[in-house]
Amino acid sequence: MVGALIGAGFATVGCLLPSSAPAAVQPSWSPAVSLVRCGSLGVPRVVFPASDPFHASGQGAILWSGDPADCNGADAAAGPGVGIAEFEPDHTLGAPELLPAAGSPPLTGLSAATATGDGRIVLAGGVGSAGGGTGELSQGPAAGPFTGAGGLGGPGAPIAVTSSYRGDVAIASVSAGGKIELRIEPHGTPSFSPPVVLTSRDAAVTALSVNLDYRGDAVVAWAEKGAIYVRVRAANGVLLTTQRVASSPPSPRLAALISDDNRAIVAWENDRTSVGDATTTTTAYLDISVPGIHFTGPHLLERFVDPPGLIPPASGLEMVRLAYEGVVVAWTGLSGGHFVVRAAPVSVNSIRPATTVSDPSADAMLSDLATGPKDEVIALWTAAPRSDGQPDAAEQRIISARGLSEPSGVARFAAPQLVAGPGLLSEPRVAIDPVTDVAVAVWRNRGGNPGIDYAVRGPSGSDTSVAGRPGPAQGARRAGSGGPSAVTIVVGVLVGLGFVLFGLRRRARARERRRTGLRSQGRRLTRRLNLTRWDS
């Protein structure tokens, strides 16, 4: 069934394995390009509207927010409000501009972005002098106009947004009275439904996640009062009972997924500081529900004591659904005293063995995880050497690794690739064009000339010039640094011939057995089975 998150075919997905031992980071992204300069810009986003994982429904765009107080006066796109740069039909990036809005007030802060199945970009953020105040919505095509901000009315954070396999959109937010609300915009409709209130009491919500399945069922996960909770709204409007999944310190990194096979997954990572010795322990969990969406207990992904004096990562857990319905979870772990990025697929009832994607000799902290039309995933992280016991922010590098599904059902990560740096770089995000399979990464540059920069990567991982971005789709290349060697090809051919000969021998033996009387026995057995009644 389309949209199945964890089904029968899911068990065939292998572990995410590195294509080779950790290799030197090799550049294959375009050189970094300056998009807009302003020191107060917020976290940028990149969005590609799609009607499904393989077809675009509108033009993509890079978005950001900013306060003009310390911006270049000649750069009107820096603020106030939300800025946008649209990918043109020829896939070049247009000039940055303020979000073209048909109404008022405009958004002044940007918390999250997604897109509908008919090509509109949906933004959630704040309305206020610097993006604070109330949280509101605005939506429209990349070329504009966007609607005036409105529709939420609660605080500007936390807010969670998602889009489904076919372009439905859901937004979870907290009302002015402290209750969690869910709004859904089914594909093909121009606006969101009235809010569905999920909680009956006011509470301080410190983390929030939302996800939709193919049918329109929605799952919302949140953290409040030292625990993680989940509630599901079925597509027919029925609200399932709220479930307490686990205890957790405040503000965990939280992700949730739901499937139309009536299951859901919740993953989270949190930090707990011991009062006695001031040590911090980081723990990552994943909980897979049984059918009917009942959670029975989490799987431990990783637990470690943070190195003394080292500040734990502020981000570090992502979970995504691949184009062909697989699920991958990635998180920030610890190896040899350094933070590392790990990833693993999720099977029908367990987490598969994890692989370390980043180089374990430097501190790496996961920033984003994106999926593409070739059933691939791109992990994006920051890495830096240490200075005075802490990662050196001025020597930050942005690095990516791409995992591609192979015909054998195994997904493999290629060698890490340098996106940008070193420099004072932070908060990178990445997305993949569903038509061309071209990836776009965007980040904040907080160096001497602060602003938003971006880079582009071709579908096959070859060097990509900005002038050609994103180029036409090319044949997918198996993840790896250089393709198979001649020896590998010869061995593969010999092994294949061996299987063919083995199969021919088995068929010959089967024919001989049938000639000696096994055929009649098989027919009698078949008649007997046809008379057997099976109860479902």
Tell me which residue of 442, 349, 396, 392 sits closest to 113, measured CA to CA. 442
Q: For residues 509 and 365, which has the higher predicted lDDT (pLDDT)? A: 365
For residue 361, what pLDDT band results from cuts at 50, 70 and 90?
A: confident
Strands, DSSP E only, in 252-297? 253-258, 264-273, 280-288
> Which pLDDT does position 510 carry in this prediction?
44
pLDDT number for residue 133: 66
Kindly report the pTM of this predicted structure. Answer: 0.79
Omega before 422 within 30 of 0, i.e. cis: yes
How many other CB atoms sit within 10 Å of the CB of residue 349? 12
| CA distances from residue 205 to 132, 155, 283 in whole angstroms, order as listed | 17, 11, 20
Do the bridges between strand 45-47 and strand 196-197 make them parallel or antiparallel, or are there none, so unpaired? Answer: unpaired
Q: What is the dihedral of CA 180, 186, 191, 193, to 10 degrees?
A: -40
Distance of CA 258 to the CA centre of its chain: 14
Report the alpha-carbon distance of residue 419 to residue 451 in Å, rounded: 16
Token couple for 432: 């993949």
Helix (H, G, I), strand (E, B) or coil at 47: strand
Question: What is the residue-averaged pLDDT of the chain?
Answer: 78
**In the chain, where the domains are located:** 310-350+361-466, 484-527
* Residue 226 · residue 249 · CB < 8 Å: yes
CA-nearest of 310, 403, 419 to 46 is 419
Give pLDDT, residue 33: 92
Q: Which of 222, 223, 213 is nearest to 248 (CA)?
A: 223
Q: Are 398 and 425 within 8 A, CB to CB?
A: yes
Q: Please report the pLDDT score of residue 460 as a whole number.
A: 58
> Residue by residue, what is the 3-state secondary structure of 445-508?
ECCCCCEEEEEEECCCCCCCCHHHCCCCCCCCCCCCCCCCCHHHHHHHHHHHHHHHHHHHHHHH
- Average pLDDT in the 359-387 region? 92
**C-alpha–C-alpha distance, residues 283 and 303, integer Å:** 4
Out of 65-79, 190-204, 435-449, least confident range = 65-79
- 224-240: per-residue pLDDT in tens? 988 999 999 999 999 99
Contacting residues for 251 by C-beta, under 8 A, at least 6 apart:
206, 207, 223, 270
Compare 360 and 14 and report the one with higher pLDDT.
360
Under 8 Å between Cβ of 93 and 469: yes
Q: Cα 248 vs. chain centroid, distance in angstroms?
A: 22
Is the pLDDT reported for residue 518 higher than 50? no
User: Residue 390 has what pLDDT?
Assistant: 78
Instruction: Name the nearest CA neighbour of 433 among 457, 401, 465, 405.
Output: 457
pLDDT at 422: 95
Average pLDDT score over residue span 20-35: 68
Q: What is the pLDDT of residue 365?
A: 92
Per-residue tokens: 39: 């020191």
Give the three-state DSSP class for 393: helix
Q: What is the pLDDT of residues 243-277, one digit of tens each?
A: 999 999 888 899 999 988 889 999 999 888 877 67
Span 65-94, mean pLDDT?
68
pLDDT surpasses 70 at 389:
yes
Measure the CA angle with vertex 188, ends 184 and 190; round to 5°: 65
Mean pLDDT value of segment 78-107: 78
Q: What is the pLDDT of residue 151?
A: 80
Give the pLDDT confidence of 94-141 residue by residue, as tens digits. 888 888 877 667 787 888 999 999 999 999 988 765 445 688 899 999
Summarize the confidence of residues 337-362 as an average pLDDT. 87
Residue 479, pLDDT above cutoff 90: no
Cα 303 from Cα 269, distance rounded (Å): 9
Containing 303, the helix (H) or strand (E) segment is strand 299-305
- Higher local confidence (pLDDT), 285 or 149: 285
pLDDT level of residue 284 (50, 70, 90 thresholds)? very high
In sequence order, which residues have a C-beta less than 8 Å from that of residue 174 and are 6 or more positions away?
154, 155, 158, 180, 181, 205, 208
Q: In whole angstroms, what is the distance from residue 317 CA to residue 297 CA?
A: 19
CB atoms within 10 A of CB 531: 6
